[in-house]
Structure 1
């Protein structure tokens, strides 16, 4: 019987540039092994991680796939739950290096499987393409950053119309519904990742599969500045104070802002249907517009903000897509010079090593 699969983005293309939550993929304190893969594009990093994930998922292990926001069909990491093993792409822009070499971390160098001489004729092309890719992302971040400035203006219109007394009442009501049976006790824990990302294929979100095991789902519907973030932060803090572990999913536009939270032990999720994901969720619907006095909002100005915001954001997404095309060109230089038979051998050796960890886990369970 196969295990469960969950999908995330550990990093994102945001208004602040590339923003990483890589440290939350797996803890150094709990990891059996953390393998950092080094190598250029097209060297087989993502394919190897997918194969490892499929192998252990078929054996019944729950697996986490951590996707690349710059190519959502590619992986930045895979985690095998139960074995507490993570394999991560350790290359730019999310550089990962061993923190506890030998004890926890190690490097798997895909460069040892390439033909170095074969790169000589592509040297200038590789350097040029890498510069172009870097320039595209810098341009994309400028568009996304500009969209955030307009988003702030849109948000401010709603904030001026927000009835904060009603917001406080709603917060307390949700706290009582979710946490009333639990006293403030030991401090819990939290894990931060992205469920939604700006990708070459547009705005992609995995939230549907992440909250599907939740039995209680509260849906906060509303645009920016309507109080959704305040509610999520409030419930997060109250849950942590009661000793719960909380999954925190961040906004791809403003990475400090929370988009969703899930409290697994309570089988409870608070998700937002917002101006970015534009999702419709099944659950208890909470319409944040009911907290606004629209007599205080200039609807024409808000509509202008909306139009400009989406135009700038879509320009940023278009540039990210163009960077992906350049990245595909770069991969060709590496694929041509890779010894994939050696990579297959490296995969077999890695699987055998991980199976040893499986045996060690089984032995530890019997002790």
Structure 2
């Protein structure tokens, strides 16, 4: 199998809290399937299986990973088909993405919660509270680190010649891309190449 995939994050945990880029990342698709339902109902597993199948058939797949569990997927896009699939828990504002058609698929319908013991619900709720507390502590730590970073960076900004930097940037653009202009229309999108994860900073992008 020839791998033909790109890997990103479109959800980041930052000094200003959780930040989502799915509205931009999924902009302009023909169709988006939004998988709804609680965590643990198999949404990421289904997306990984679909991604593997599309790659086997030679399609290009854009994979969007979870910053909490970076080995798992929160969304995928089949580039050639312009079709996206995303976990409904992370795609706030997806209706503003400009997709031609948005379809919601409820995974909770296949979830038999009668198999979950009453004591397990208590454990799940306890873990949810602990997770919220851990996120809050992480955001406070990120914010403190950002304040320190900004204090250090101020010395560089105060002594930076931005006009000269812009000039060098334009010269590099001419040197690297002159003669490669194209009339093909493009659409800008915002994604994260890396994110803060339980393993530390992770950079995922590859093609």
Shorter-chain TM-score: what band?
A: 0.7 to 0.9
Kindly indicate whether residue 138 of structure 2 is the aligned counterpart of residue 316 of structure 1: yes
Alpha-carbon distance in 1 for matches of 2:170, 2:141: 38
Per the normalisation by structure 2, the TM-score is: 0.75
Aligned partner (choices 107, 110, 115) of residue 291 of structure 1: 110
Alpha-carbon distance in 2 for matches of 1:280, 1:221: 14
The equivalences for 1:177-188 within 5 A come to: 187=2
Q: Which residue of 1 aligns with 2:126?
A: 304
The equivalences for 1:174-253 within 5 A come to: 187=2, 189-253=4-68
Aligned partner (choices 269, 288, 298) of residue 84 of structure 2: 269
Highest CA radius of gyration, 1 or 2?
1
- Measured at CA, do residues 259 and 353 of structure 1 come closer, stay the same or move farther in structure 2, by a change above 3 Å? same
Give the RMSD, CA atoms, in angstroms: 2.2
Per the normalisation by structure 1, the TM-score is: 0.44
- Measured at CA, do residues 278 and 207 of structure 1 come closer, stay the same or move farther in structure 2, by a change above 3 Å? closer
Deviation at residue 224 of structure 1 after TM alignment = 2.3
Q: Which residue of 1 aligns with 2:73?
A: 258
Alpha-carbon distance in 2 for matches of 1:216, 1:254: 26
Contact 2:48/2:73, CA 8 A, preserved across alignment: yes
Alpha-carbon distance in 2 for matches of 1:348, 1:270: 38
Show structure 1 runs of 5+ residues with no match. Answer: 1-185
Query: Structure 1, residues 274-308: CA drift from partner, whole Å, max 9, x if none?
Result: 2xx36364422112222211122233332222111
Query: Structure 1, residues 253-274: CA drift from partner, whole Å, max 9, x if none?
Result: 1111111000021121111022
Query: Structure 1, residues 103-148: CA drift from partner, whole Å, max 9, x if none?
Result: xxxxxxxxxxxxxxxxxxxxxxxxxxxxxxxxxxxxxxxxxxxxxx
Aligned partner (choices 351, 358, 366) of residue 178 of structure 2: 358
The equivalences for 1:36-75 within 5 A come to: none
Q: Which residue of 1 aligns with 2:92?
A: 279
Alpha-carbon distance in 1 for matches of 2:82, 2:166: 40
